[in-house]
Amino acid sequence: MTAAVTPLSKVRPNDPCWCGSGLKFKRCHKPTTERVAPGALSPRRPVPDTIEAPPWAATGGGSNRDEPDVKSADVIDRMRRTGRLAGDVLAQVGAAVAPGVTTDELDELCHTLTIEAGAYPSPLNYNGYKKSLCTSVNEVICHGIPDSRPLRDGDIVNLDVTCFREGVNGDTNATFFVGSVDPESQRLVRITRECLSEAIAVVRPGVPINAIGRAIQDHAEGNGLGVVRAFIGHGVGETFHTDLAIPHYYDPRATKALQEGMVFTIEPMITVGDWRHQLWDDDWTATTVDGKRTAQFEHTLLVTADGVEILTLRADGLWSGDGGQP
């Protein structure tokens, strides 16, 4: 039998803190329930001229979305190598997550690791994005910009890493715990990770795209959680984002059948409360409208003859992020 868990939203200021510190909630973890506020941005980090860069590195534009959904054997081979690099970078940056570390310091680490591997950090200057990493804390759904805000004990943070090397992109993300995290947030992260696993399990040739969204929505809503609609998975390859769209909810219009050789991301964003989003004035940072927490996991996937291959696993074959191995 499992003991009932009191939702974080119902803990009163003078109650004992859920973490077992012996302090009152208001003196311990209550500050971590406050809304995330933007901090100061550091200057854009340089990339050596010796690094092969995508077109948007110079132009500040977006992707040329006109790329075949089904990739050639050569593109797939290159994506395997670049995807594995992205998985390894994510693991190393995730290992640096700790109370007191700023998201800008995580960006600096991601930038350095990517450059040292002979790759370009794909987010940098993509449609003008100023950093090499996306860091989405607590109620930030996605596209949080690294800044001077220190991570706090009890936060959760999603790290979204994309590397461009050998002319292709590898895109992956995971949600990490910062110190001691409340039970409600632990459950959110675990179920979000399960949503990605459930979605990957249905991928094979002939399956309609909307089966992916159905698997995610059924698992999330079956556990009392919400599914963000505004941001979806996408085709990826030599281009960062192609026209191939992968909704994370059931969309009856998404009937296109998966084919062997397709490559795309699945990246469900799952919420404790309302799934709707609002945008900060920076035109990037998306948060939940009610300020409740959200989590995300992402892999780049290849449809194979008999199923699916995850291209963004770490070199040791494992996932990154908290919540247990699939």
In-domain check, residue 186: yes
In-domain check, residue 179: yes
The answer to whether the beta carbons of residues 116 and 93 sit under 8 Å apart is: no
Q: What is the pLDDT of residue 31?
A: 58
Tokens 């993509």 label which residue? 126
Question: Average of pLDDT values for 84-98?
Answer: 98
SS3 226: strand
What's the domain count of the chain? 1
pLDDT by residue (tens digit) across 286-306?
A: 999 999 999 999 999 999 999
The answer to whether the beta carbons of residues 194 and 293 sit under 8 Å apart is: no
In-domain check, residue 5: no
In-domain check, residue 287: yes
At residue 34 the predicted structure's pLDDT band, cuts being 50, 70 and 90, is confident
Question: Average of pLDDT values for 157-174?
Answer: 98
Q: Residue 64 pLDDT more than 90? A: no
In-domain check, residue 77: yes
* CATH code at position 80: 3.90.230.10
In-domain check, residue 295: yes
Domain ranges, residue 301: 65-310
Compute CA distances 48 → 53, 82, 163, 290, 309, whole Å.
Answer: 10, 19, 15, 42, 33
In-domain check, residue 58: no
In-domain check, residue 25: no
Report the Cα–Cα distance between both ends of the chain, in Å, rounded.
23
At residue 24 the predicted structure's pLDDT band, cuts being 50, 70 and 90, is confident
Give the separation between CA 86 and CA 88, rounded to whole angstroms.
5
Compute CA distances 59 → 48, 55, 270, 297, 301, whole Å.
Answer: 16, 7, 33, 29, 28
